[in-house]
């Protein structure tokens, strides 16, 4: 694989729907072997970006090169080397689990014999071998998702695009998906994913951009982003009052930064336990105290003043 040139290169990329600008001039580069993430709340422009990268949505402006080619002119050639796992599963309800993979392989011009072998291999990889001849309908959400991921791998793609791969799954199903994706990453497959779960981004992404309102507000590795935009620890305080606001003023001096949410106050500090002691010394008695490490959630809160999942 060519490691010198970026696989995905976007400059000032724009997507408009009528008057609405979904993606407002973003610059992105993804190189081979990377796991790259778009983190942001619903409506940040992640899915629109993914569809443009997937060559199923023509850009409204800016420059976009995928695998060194032009997505509008060379759509089929690019898509031949992409694997796409869309936000909503669009599996074929009239086919069995296995047929979903073999027919999809045929869209890529993969010979029947190869398609069958590949399907068996992939069903094993996503742990669906025992459901191979079942219809899609009775599968659980997590199984459908894994099947969609297997389908995205049927053409041995250079880049796999995953749009919110675990949204709507229960915790157990999510971990199973993460584990499979992590395996892919280890095999050197280039992953591009969107998510509004910070834990997902932290687990899977080498590098990510934080998107808000169609723009990129920060970029870096999860660790670098946390170091740059948050402190090492966070103290979460909850007071038994109508409004947390009244207490915020008294806490200002304790941390580098204080964020007031409707139901709690976050104090950003290098050493959480020390701060808890200081709070008690001030004569304040929160009903609930939690000390934790800073996460991407805190980065996002700092950058946009809003929480990721609302």
Partner 1 sequence: MVTLVLPRLVDVSAASRRSASVTERNVAALRSVYWLLLVSGFVEPLLYLLSIGVGVGALIGDLTLPSGAVVTYAAFVAPAMLASSAMTGALAETTFNFFGKMKYMKLYDGVIATPVQPFEIALGELAWAMLRGSAYSAAFLVVMVVMDLTTPVRALAAFPAAVLVGFAFGAVGMAISTFMRSWQDFDLMSSAQFVLFLFSGTFVPAEAYPAVLRWLVEVTPLYRAVHLIRALTVDTGGWSWTLDVLYLLAVLTAGLLIASRRMGRLLYK
Using the rule CB under 8 A, is 196 a contact of partner 1?
no
Q: What is the DSSP letter of 131?
A: G
- Which of 5, 42, 43, 92 is the binder for partner 1 (CB under 8 A)? 92
Using the rule CB under 8 A, is 91 a contact of partner 1?
yes
> 149 is written with which tokens?
């991921």
Binding span for partner 1 by CB under 8 A among 102-110, 210-218, 220-228, 289-297: 102-110
Using the rule CB under 8 A, is 93 a contact of partner 1?
yes
Q: What x-and-dash track marks residues 126-155 binding partner 1 by CB under 8 A?
A: -------------------------x---x
Check if the beta carbon of residue 8 is closer than 8 Å to that of residue 192: yes
Q: How far is CA 12 from the centre of its chain?
A: 21
Using the rule CB under 8 A, is 49 a contact of partner 1?
no
Output the smallest distance, CB 70 to partner 1, in A: 15
- Which of 11, 106, 293, 306 is the binder for partner 1 (CB under 8 A)? 106
Using the rule CB under 8 A, is 82 a contact of partner 1?
yes
Indicate the Cα dihedral angle 76, 195, 174, 290, nearest 10°.
170
- Find the angle CA(196)-CA(47)-CA(51) to the nearest 5 degrees: 150
Output the smallest distance, CB 80 to partner 1, in A: 5
Q: 50's torsion region: left (phi>0), alpha (psi -120 to 50) or beta?
A: alpha
Q: Is 200 helix (H, G, I), strand (E, B) or coil?
A: helix
HSE-up (13 A, CA, CB side) for residue 108: 23
Indicate the Cα dihedral angle 49, 43, 33, 180, nearest 10°.
-130
Comparing CB distances to partner 1, the nearer of 61 and 75 is: 75
Comparing CB distances to partner 1, the nearer of 141 and 220 is: 141
Check if the beta carbon of residue 231 is closer than 8 Å to that of residue 302: no
- Which of 4, 18, 109, 138 is the binder for partner 1 (CB under 8 A)? 109
Q: Computed from CA positions of residues 212, 216, 217, 223, in that sequence, does the dihedral angle turn out positive or negative?
A: positive
Using the rule CB under 8 A, is 117 a contact of partner 1?
no
Residues 6+ apart with CB under 8 A from 76: none
- Which of 27, 29, 70, 99 is the binder for partner 1 (CB under 8 A)? 99
Residues 6+ apart with CB under 8 A from 184: 153, 160, 191
Q: How far is it, in rounded angstroms, from Cα 201 to Cα 206?
A: 9
Comparing CB distances to partner 1, the nearer of 11 and 107 is: 107
Binding span for partner 1 by CB under 8 A among 78-86, 196-204, 205-213, 241-249: 78-86
- Which of 3, 4, 18, 88 is the binder for partner 1 (CB under 8 A)? 88
Using the rule CB under 8 A, is 51 a contact of partner 1?
yes
Using the rule CB under 8 A, is 107 a contact of partner 1?
yes
Comparing CB distances to partner 1, the nearer of 65 and 151 is: 151
- What residue ranges bind partner 1 (CB under 8 A)? 17, 51, 54, 56-58, 75-77, 79-80, 82, 84, 86, 88, 90-95, 99, 102-104, 106-109, 151, 155
């Amino acid at each position: 694989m060519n490691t010198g040139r970026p696989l995905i290169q976007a400059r000032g990329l724009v997507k408009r729907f009528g008057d609405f600008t979904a993606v407002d001039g973003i610059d992105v580069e993804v190189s081979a072997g990377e796991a790259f993430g778009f983190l942001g709340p619903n409506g940040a422009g992640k899915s629109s970006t993914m569809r443009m990268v997937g060559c199923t949505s023509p850009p409204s402006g800016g420059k976009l090169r995928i695998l060194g080619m032009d997505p509008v002119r060379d759509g089929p050639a690019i898509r031949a080397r992409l694997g796409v796992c869309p936000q909503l599963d669009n599996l074929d309800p009239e086919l069995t689990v296995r047929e979903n993979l073999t027919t999809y392989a045929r869209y890529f011009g993969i010979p029947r014999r190869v398609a069958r072998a590949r399907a068996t291999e992939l069903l094993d990889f996503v742990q669906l071998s025992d459901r191979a001849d079942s219809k899609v309908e009775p599968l659980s959400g997590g199984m459908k998702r894994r099947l969609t991921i297997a389908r995205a791998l049927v053409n041995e793609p250079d880049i796999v695009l995953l749009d919110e791969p675990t949204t709507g799954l229960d915790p157990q199903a999510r971990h199973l998906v993460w584990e499979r994706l992590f395996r892919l990453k280890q095999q050197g497959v280039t992953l591009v994913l969107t998510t509004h779960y910070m834990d997902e981004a932290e687990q899977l992404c080498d590098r990510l951009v934080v998107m808000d309102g169609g723009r990129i507000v920060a970029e870096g590795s999860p660790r670098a982003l946390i170091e740059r935009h948050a402190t090492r620890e966070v103290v979460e305080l909850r007071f038994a009052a109508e409004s947390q606001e009244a207490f915020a003023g008294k806490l200002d001096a304790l941390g580098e930064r204080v964020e007031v949410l409707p139901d709690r106050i976050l104090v950003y500090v290098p050493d959480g336990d020390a701060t808890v002691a200081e709070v008690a010394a001030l004569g304040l008695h929160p009903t609930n105290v939690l000390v934790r490490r800073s996460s991407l959630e805190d980065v996002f809160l700092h950058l946009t003043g809003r929480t990721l999942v609302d």
